[in-house]
């Protein structure tokens, strides 16, 4: 039967639309310490600001008493200084406490979300890496995590302080001069309308900017990986032009985001100036009606609040734009992961010494590289007895490598079963299955480290056994020629060894483990015949 292997294609990066959901904020704060810790931070913000307002009102009352020459004041000057000092000290202590707790909350949220994303990416099926370029993954781990660690922490802290400060200034100014209430209400409505109009654009432009960043990382990564091929074919100008194209797209998105931010700031400043001017004129008109101290306090609040509200609204839009980064990180924290690594109930315990024969049975096996992809193996049935050496041949794309992928459960088995020594592999944990089989892949992999680490990463074997394995694969002379022998460094990917030597290292690794099942995927393609 002819077996057609599905072709893995790069899929487009998903992008959210509309506002950042409330669920994203809830999950973000939940990762930072849960509901109780978040409520404690909010309570400290209100208490700290209440102390600031109380201090301002105390100074206003004190100045009023000074104007009246203490005729209605029951406290002495020294007592007032003591009370003011106590209020000022409490403001300092509470401000430090709430800033510290808020920083802990935000930094912890970033760490928890990063660790969850890291765990899910490491456990993601191979199909995920086949369909998502490395630049897209690097973008989330570099830029998005960087925004969460640094810029979002600073901006969200500033947003929280500005929000509580603006709220207290509004209430205090209205309490001192209730004629300001209609003006405040009108300005707030206009500000919110402008913010709503702006954020609809800025939020999606920020998402586009994040998406436009991924191809740059991918292009750089691919260029570095294929540098020798690019130079040998004189393709430098083509690769540079392609990088410039990706960079221009990103710059366009970033410019749109910056330009829209400037548009928003200009309109807020104009409205703030108009409101401040109207307030000053009304204060002059009402100077004979209100208490002079309270009127002065309300003017101070109004002049402060116009700038603060403008700054607060800009910061709030920055926060929503930056919350796109946690949103993208959370998306990777929900990736589908491989089955459990260890065999656990309700699966039966693994028999001692399994596999003790090494027989493999394929029963009507149907296999796909992804849960929603086409079948690349259809109704495959065969029996490989213990001790047999079986070769599987076929044209390119016939499904030879897919059969190996199914054996190692790199993706879930769609239908049928694979049985090794009377144990269905789908009942086993992935570690229990994979460590009992050895493979010499078509594309050998060596890790950055030492020769010893690449042969025996868990330090199970002694030097004598390692040298014996190297001698069996005719690499002993090569390793002995290195300055440090088994402790010689291996470059990333084994670039200081030829492809054939890297395959021989994989063979030596397999010989050390002495597994009953050995799989060779064109293992001798790059090795000299000897």
226 is in which domain, residue-wise? 22-332
Q: Are residues 309 and 388 in the same domain?
A: no
Indicate if 427 and 458 belong to the same structural domain: no
pLDDT of residue 72: 54
Residues pairing with 520 in the sheet? 440
Q: What's residue 6's pLDDT?
A: 42
Short-list 307, 238, 237, CA closest to 276 = 307
Looking at the structure, tell me whether residues 182 and 328 fall in a common domain.
yes
**Distance between CA 116 and CA 366 in Å, rounded?**
32
What pLDDT sits at residue 330? 94
pLDDT greater than 90 at residue 352: no
Determine, yes or no, domain membership for 2: no
**Residue 136 is part of a domain; what is its CATH number?**
1.20.1560.10
Whether 347 maps to a domain, the answer reads: no
Report CA dihedral (167, 172, 178, 179) to the nearest 10 degrees. -70
Confidence of residue 192 (pLDDT cuts 50, 70, 90): confident
Q: In sequence order, what are the residues at sequence separation of 6 or more whose Cβ sits closer than 8 angstroms to the Cβ of residue 307?
A: 272
Q: How confident is the model at residue 295 (pLDDT cuts 50, 70, 90)?
A: low
Q: 413: domain CATH number?
A: 3.40.50.300
User: Are residues 449 and 413 part of one domain?
Assistant: no
Mind listing the pLDDT tens digit for each residue in 131-188?
888 888 888 998 899 999 989 999 999 999 888 888 887 777 677 667 667 777 787 7
Listed residue (240, 222, 313) closest to 271, CA to CA: 313
Query: What does the alpha-carbon distance between residue 489 and residue 483 come to, in Å, rounded to a whole number?
Result: 10
Residue 70 pLDDT: 53
Element containing residue 518 per DSSP (H, E) = strand 517-520
Rounded distance, CA 52 to CA 156, Å?
A: 20
- The conformation of residue 435, written as its DSSP 8-state character, comes to T
In terms of domains, do 406 and 325 share one? no
Same domain, 410 and 509: no
Q: Are 39 and 156 contained in the same domain?
A: yes
The C-alpha atoms of residue 89 and residue 325 are separated, in whole angstroms, by 38
For 321-352, give one letter per residue: b (16+ CB within 10 A) or e.
bbbbbbbbbbbbbebeeeeeeebeeebeebee
- 229: Cβ contacts below 8 Å, ≥ 6 apart: 235
Residue 248 clears pLDDT 90, i.e. is over it: yes
Region 38-63: mean pLDDT is 81
Residues 469, 443 within the same domain: yes
User: Same domain, yes or no, for 183 and 218?
Assistant: yes
Is the pLDDT confidence value at 453 over 70? yes
Residues 417 and 444 in one domain: no
Number of domains in the chain: 3
Residue 355: cis peptide before it, omega within 30 degrees of 0: yes
Q: Does position 256 have pLDDT exceeding 80, yes or no?
A: yes
Residue 198 located in a structural domain? yes
pTM of the model: 0.75
Residue with the bigger pLDDT between 116 and 219: it is 116
pLDDT score, position 167: 82
Look at residue 85 and tell me whether its pLDDT is greater than 70: yes
For residue range 419-441, what is the model confidence (pLDDT) as tens digits? 998 889 988 889 889 988 988 88
Span of 79-88, 107-116, 135-144 with lowest mean pLDDT? 79-88
How far is residue 251's CA from residue 78's CA, in Å, rounded to a whole number? 61
User: Hey, how many other C-beta atoms are within 10 angstroms of the C-beta on 385?
Assistant: 11
In the predicted model, is pLDDT for residue 10 greater than 90? Answer: no
């Amino acid at each position: 039967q002819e077996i057609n292997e599905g072709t893995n294609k790069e899929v487009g990066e998903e992008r959210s639309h509309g506002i950042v959901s409330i669920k994203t904020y809830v999950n973000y704060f939940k990762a930072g310490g849960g509901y109780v810790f978040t409520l404690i931070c909010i309570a400290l913000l209100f208490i700290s600001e209440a102390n600031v307002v109380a201090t301002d009102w105390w100074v206003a009352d004190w100045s009023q008493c000074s104007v009246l020459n203490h005729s209605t004041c029951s406290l002495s000057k020294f007592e007032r200084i003591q009370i003011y000092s106590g209020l000022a000290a409490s403001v300092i202590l509470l401000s430090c406490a709430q800033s510290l707790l808020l920083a802990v909350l935000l930094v912890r949220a970033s760490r928890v979300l990063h660790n969850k994303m890291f765990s899910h990416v490491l456990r993601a099926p191979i199909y995920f890496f086949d369909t998502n370029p490395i630049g897209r993954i690097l973008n989330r781990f570099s830029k998005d995590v960087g925004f969460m660690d640094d810029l979002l922490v600073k901006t969200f802290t500033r947003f929280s302080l500005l929000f509580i400060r603006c709220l207290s200034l509004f209430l205090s100014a209205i309490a001192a001069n209730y004629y300001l209430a209609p003006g405040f209400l009108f300005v707030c409505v206009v500000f919110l309308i402008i913010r709503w109009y702006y954020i609809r654009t800025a939020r999606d432009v920020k998402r586009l900017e994040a998406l436009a960043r991924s191809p740059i990382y991918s292009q750089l990564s691919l260029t570095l990986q294929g540098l020798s091929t690019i130079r040998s074919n004189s393709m430098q100008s083509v690769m540079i032009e392609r990088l410039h194209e990706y960079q221009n797209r990103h710059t366009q998105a970033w410019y749109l985001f910056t330009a829209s931010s400037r548009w928003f700031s200009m309109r807020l400043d104009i409205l703030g100036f108009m409101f401040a001017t109207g307030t000053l004129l009304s204060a002059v008109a009402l100077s004979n009606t209100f208490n002079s101290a309270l009127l002065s306090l309300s003017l101070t609040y109004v002049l402060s609040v116009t700038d603060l509200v403008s700054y607060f609204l800009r910061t709030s839009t920055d926060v929503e734009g930056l919350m796109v980064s946690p949103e993208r990180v959370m998306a990777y924290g929900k990736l589908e992961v491989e089955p459990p690594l260890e065999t656990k109930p309700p699966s039966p315990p693994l028999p001692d010494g399994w596999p003790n024969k090494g027989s493999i049975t394929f029963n009507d096996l149907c296999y796909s590289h992804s849960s929603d992809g086409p079948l690349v193996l259809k109704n495959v049935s065969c029996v490989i007895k213990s001790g047999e050496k079986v070769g599987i041949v076929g044209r390119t794309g016939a499904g030879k490598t897919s059969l190996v992928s199914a054996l190692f459960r790199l993706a879930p088995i769609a239908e049928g079963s694979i049985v090794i020594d009377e144990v269905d592999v789908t009942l086993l944990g992935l570690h229990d299955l994979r460590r009992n089989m050895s493979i010499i892949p078509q594309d050998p992999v060596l890790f950055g480290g030492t020769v010893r680490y690449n042969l025996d990463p868990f330090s199970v074997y002694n030097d004598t056994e390692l040298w014996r394995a190297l001698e069996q694969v005719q690499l002993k002379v090569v390793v002995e020629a290195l300055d440090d022998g088994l402790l010689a460094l291996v470059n990333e990917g084994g670039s200081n060894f030829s492809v054939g030597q890297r395959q021989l290292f994989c063979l030596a690794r397999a010989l050390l483990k002495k597994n009953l099942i050995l799989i060779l995927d064109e293992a001798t393609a790059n090795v000299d015949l000897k």
